[in-house]
Chains A and B, each alone.
Chain A
Amino acid sequence: MSLTEVGLQADVASDLPAGPIEGRSPWLLAWRRLRKDKVAVASLIVIIVLAVLALMAPLVAHWVQHPVDMPYTNSGLNSFGDPVAPSGKFLLGTDVLGRDLFVRILYGARVSLLVGLVTTAIGTAAGLIVGMAAGYFGGVIDTVLARFIDSVLAFPYVVLALALAVVFGPSLPVTIGVISFFAWAAIARVVRGQTLSIKEKEYIEAARSLGAGPLRIMFVDIAPNLVAPLLVLATLFIPTAIVFEATLSYLGVGIQPPTASWGNLLSGAQTTYNVAWWDLVFPCVFLLVTTLAFNLLGDGVRDALDPRTERLFASRRRSARRRSRHGRRDAAAPAGGA
């Protein structure tokens, strides 16, 4: 009898959170704010479209029947041997060897996005660990790590990239390595500063009084508070990495032809731009739109995560928003103007 009672009680206890009230997490609130930001949403759509196109590059090449490395010496070059202009056959024209520029740009997007994401991931992870260790432990560890970060940031990166390319031979892994090497230092510096301020909070002391060790405090208590700034930093670092990769490839120490990358497409356009503007313009447009989209998205993410941040255009956007809400009796509008 008593056993059944106990069982019943246990059932009741486990039934208690039948409809657990889901808290409105800071992330959910930030996501809602981001969705209202038209510029950020447009940027996100651009990035998603580009990513889908990059992923589908082989399929696109298949549909248009133009393999990426195939030089069309007859149809892709005119009678003077120059690239042909954009047309129904070659959507964005051809390059110096008569290859389909559109297909090559899409393949280049694969490289750019891959380098951007991988270097940012490596840099963020390394920067998080180094920065947290420096900030949390302090003392000698902090001094050594902070000086190391400073010296990395002081390094002339193009010179290092050239040197490494000469020693190891230019390749994708070397490019990723060079960019990651500079990515982590900038992130580590920000993480260190944030950690220094977070570790003085009372909830860190509370965790210590519970008996939590340094690793648990760093990854359970401090890290969640770093995600917001890291997300912003990472979003803003991706376009930097993409431009960095293009720079290295343009200089000939990054991605090597025949592998297409936006940098080496531009490098190739140097010889043809006076007869074929599209060789220069289209890779540039893709590079520009991509970096712009990531930067604008990063700004939007920052605004969404920290609504108090003031920034350029913020007042203009606010007033536009107020105007658009005027007729809708929105209680939030006066608060925005304060």
Chain B
Amino acid sequence: MSTPASAAGDGDVLVRVDNLVKYFPVRGAGLVPRAIGQVQAVDGVSLELRRGQTLGLVGETGCGKSTLARCIAGLIPVTSGTVTFDGHRISGLSRRAMQPFRREIQMIFQDPYGSLNPRRRVGSIIGDPYAVHKIASGAQRKRAVQEMMERVGLNPEHYNRFPAEFSGGQRQRIGLARALALRPKLIIADEPVSALDVSIQAQILNLLADLQRDFGLTYLFIAHDLEVVRHVSNQVTVMYLGRIAEQGPAQPVYATPRHPYTAALLSAAPAADPDAAAARQRIILTGDVPSPISPPDGCRFHPRCPKAQQACGRLQPALEAKPGDPAEHQTACHYPLQPGETLTVPAVAAARAPAAADGTLDGEDAS
């Protein structure tokens, strides 16, 4: 019987994900559905989460970041690869064997409306973890719940209210209180602020930071907003179509992105300073994200990459530190951007021209 006590080994790594693969079968229609393909949601991802730190996981919708999070949380079984938590392998465990780790790993969900049961009172929702793990009951549980409500900035007198009576930000606080009730070590936050107003986002982010300091939490913070991730993360991992494109400490990744995809993502983030925004070149990627059912060969980004060359379509680039980078800053790219290099996109500019002409209604001169 293994308990999630502190284990020997690399002491400051709380979670280690090793070559994690998650494929979802695609079933055909018919009386006896059989698999006709696979959605390669996560395809060989390895990463480490250090104790007390925040790892920001970014990428477009559908890049597999939520699937990765659910694999780590043990909500869906992995296809292959391992997840190690605090020195214990937790991938492939049965529901019962996973139970002690559930207390240590908690999730915060994106949708503050969908993640709270509309028919249950807030006190009962936040008390759920105590009930499931049979920790406190009756008045004791109520007191614990109310303390937790106060800690996340809710009025403990609202114990008997229903989720519908709260605003989006307050609901996210409720979700946070539920996640923190068992004093977990790891919080997986799946886009916790993307459904909130910007002013409320800041409140929740600050609350998350306070709680991390007070409870010594480790965060896996998923977002598609790079500015939010920059604000909260020590480490950043950029995913594209089930694989890691670039990862490393937040500062070098943001200052000198090596992967063209990272550079494109960064250029897409709105800037607060209008002069800086005007001076900066936005990199518009062409095309859509390819289907994860039949991802491109070689580098998965190559069909959309302005720097792609022949080799990119054949060889899968290894995730490694590029010359001049610290060992932790790793990039999966054959032709990484050099420091100071700006990504020029002639093909993209050409592709955009007709669209612009259509917009001004006098674009019939070309043909």
Tell me if A's interface is mostly helix, strand, loop or mixed: helix
- What band does the interface of chain B fall in when counting residues whose beta carbon is under 8 Å from A? 35 or more
Tell which of A13, A202, A211, A225 touches B109, judged by Cβ atoms closer than 8 Å: A202
A274 at interface by CB-CB < 8 Å: no
**Chain A residues whose CB sits within 8 angstroms of the CB of B103 once the complex forms:** 211
Q: Is the CB of A209 within 8 A of B162?
A: no
- Asked if B335 CB lies within 8 Å of chain A CBs, one says no
* B117-A221 in contact (CB<8A): yes
Q: A20 to B157, Cβ gap below 8 A?
A: yes
Least CB distance, B159 to chain A, in whole angstroms: 6
B213 within 8 A of A: no
**Interface pair B160/A210, CB less than 8 Å apart:** no
CB closest chain-A residue, reference B101: A211
B158 touches A212 (CB 8 A): no
Which of A23-31, A44-52, A87-95, A99-107 forms part of the interface with chain B? A23-31
Residues in B neighbouring A213, C-beta threshold 8 A: 95
Interface string of A188-206 (1 = CB under 8 A from B): 0000000000000111011
Asked if A16 and B157 sit within 8 Å, CB to CB, the answer is yes
CB 8 Å contact bits of B118-149 with A (1 = contact, 0 = none):
11111000001100110000010011001100
**Most chain B beta carbons < 10 A, residue from A14, A17, A224, A225:** A17
> Quick check: is A42 within 8 A (CB to CB) of the other chain?
no
Across the interface, which residues of A come within 8 angstroms of B116, CB to CB? Answer: 203, 206
Residues of B within 8 A of A207 (CB): 128, 132
**Cβ contact within 8 Å between B119 and A209:** no
Bound Cα distance from A148 to B114, whole angstroms: 33
Residues of A within 8 A of B312 (CB): none
A 216-251 contacts with B by CB, 8 A: 216, 220-221, 224-225, 227
Contacts A21-B161, A209-B74 aside, 10 further interface pairs with beta carbons under 8 A come to: A14-B139, A23-B158, A23-B160, A23-B161, A202-B114, A209-B73, A210-B106, A216-B132, A224-B119, A225-B117
Would you list the 8 A-B pairs with minimal beta carbon distance, nearest first? A211-B102, A23-B161, A224-B119, A202-B114, A202-B115, A203-B117, A209-B107, A23-B162
Could you list 19 examples of A-B contacts with CB < 8 Å? Answer: A13-B146, A13-B147, A17-B157, A20-B159, A20-B160, A23-B165, A201-B117, A202-B114, A202-B115, A203-B115, A203-B117, A206-B175, A207-B128, A209-B73, A210-B106, A211-B102, A221-B117, A224-B117, A225-B118
